[in-house]
Amino acid sequence: MTGQNSAPVLAADIGGTKILTAILSSRGRMLAKDVCSTLADEGVSSVIERLCASIDNLLNGNDFKPSNLAGIGIACAGAIDAARGVITTSPNLPEWSDVPLAGLLAERYGVDTYLVNDASAAALGEHRFGAGQGLRNLVMLTLGTGIGGGIIIDGELYLGASGSAAEMGHMIIDVNGPECPCGSKGCLEVFASGKAVARDAAMRIRQGEKSSLVDMVQGRLEEITAGKVGAAARSGDALAIDVLSRAAYYLGIGLVNLVNIFNPEMIIIGGGMAEQAEFLIEPARQVVTAGAFPISAQAVRIVPAKLGNEAGVYGAAAYAFDRTKRRS
């Protein structure tokens, strides 16, 4: 069966600031969507209530019943126990610990519900409906506040033994480097995440370097973000350009490792930092050409993501479709 006439799924991506909910056809057409605030600090049950209100809103507003759905797919940052449908821990949802969200939604809506890590979902979304369509294997890096990853092998999402594979942000590339919140030193995330870019820019300004960023944030250096560094770089700010260039170099080192390990057809760069792709991808590609094995460096295309911040919800939908097909 090709799934062309199969029922749609409901998918949601629970982010740190907002929850995106959508109904998607099996061919990846977004039939309807809804956005609400996460407000994680209001507590677990409050977030779940808002998620359900958003789902109800979507279903009612578009004349869907839960029984019309092939399944529900939920993407969420953090350690997901996919087999049990439990959010073990999540950086976006600090109070959440072993929350059996899949079971709660399955019971409420009477529909099979599947949980998947958001970065893995983004990779699956880009593979099915975005930059990586039709490829056998690819690696995606999601450069946001932190760095997440997703791996597609032989056309399928690879999740590992306990669903926690693809933590490429915590690949150690400088064993004597700065400490990472994960406990290791010199992880890729310390050098090439949005947080790292913002921190580096603020630190260098505090050390006396000049930058148009100071005016941009009216002197409040803690308000510098990777997006603002990108904007400053586009307006020619030398410090901002240099900070992004350094991040691109380390990103390139991480990509050398991924190219040597996976010999992938494609590496997709997504997440908020992908908005700075013009300063990141070409320099990182040059590091790959110089440092990776030639046969693998030649085989890989390094491209920005296509689905933007909707990759996770597309991927959650694809994941639910895959799982429901496997059951049928």
Which residues are at the interface with its own copies (CB under 8 A)? 79, 88, 136-137, 149, 151, 153-154, 156, 158-168, 170-177, 182-184, 186, 250, 253, 256-257, 260-265, 290-291, 293, 295-296, 298-300
Query: In the bound complex, what is the minimum distance in angstroms from residue 236's beta carbon to its own copies?
Result: 29
148-to-30, 64, 170, 250 alpha-carbon distances in Å: 24, 33, 9, 15
Query: In the bound complex, what is the minimum distance in angstroms from residue 291's beta carbon to its own copies?
Result: 5
User: Is residue 140 left, alpha or beta, with left meaning phi > 0 and alpha meaning psi from -120 to 50?
Assistant: beta
Query: In the bound complex, what is the minimum distance in angstroms from residue 269's beta carbon to its own copies?
Result: 17
Query: In the bound complex, what is the minimum distance in angstroms from residue 242's beta carbon to its own copies?
Result: 18
The contacts of residue 85 (CB under 8 Å, 6+ apart) are 100, 101, 102, 103, 106, 113, 114, 115
Q: Which is nearer to its own copies, 144 or 252 (CB)?
A: 252
The answer to whether the CB of 121 falls within 8 A of the CB of 312 is yes
Query: In the bound complex, what is the minimum distance in angstroms from residue 88's beta carbon to its own copies?
Result: 7
Query: In the bound complex, what is the minimum distance in angstroms from residue 188's beta carbon to its own copies?
Result: 10
Query: In the bound complex, what is the minimum distance in angstroms from residue 256's beta carbon to its own copies?
Result: 6
What is the distance of C-alpha 14 from the center of its chain?
11
Q: Which is nearer to its own copies, 24 or 116 (CB)?
A: 116
Q: How far apart are CA 39 and CA 54, in angstroms?
A: 14
Q: Which is nearer to its own copies, 156 or 278 (CB)?
A: 156
Q: Which is nearer to its own copies, 24 or 93 (CB)?
A: 93
Half-sphere exposure of residue 185, counting CA atoms within 13 Å on the CB side?
5
Q: Which is nearer to its own copies, 94 or 160 (CB)?
A: 160
36-to-33, 41, 90, 238 alpha-carbon distances in Å: 10, 15, 19, 38
The answer to whether the CB of 285 falls within 8 A of the CB of 321 is no
Q: How far apart are CA 325 and CA 328, in angstroms?
A: 5
Closest CA to 174 of 159, 183, 165, 185: 185
Query: In the bound complex, what is the minimum distance in angstroms from residue 121's beta carbon to its own copies?
Result: 16
Q: Which is nearer to its own copies, 7 or 79 (CB)?
A: 79
Q: How far apart are CA 148 and CA 307, in angstroms?
A: 16
Half-sphere exposure of residue 134, counting CA atoms within 13 Å on the CB side?
0
Q: Which is nearer to its own copies, 175 or 206 (CB)?
A: 175
What is the distance of C-alpha 25 from the center of its chain?
22
Q: Which is nearer to its own copies, 2 or 176 (CB)?
A: 176
Which residue is listed with tokens 């400088």? Answer: 174
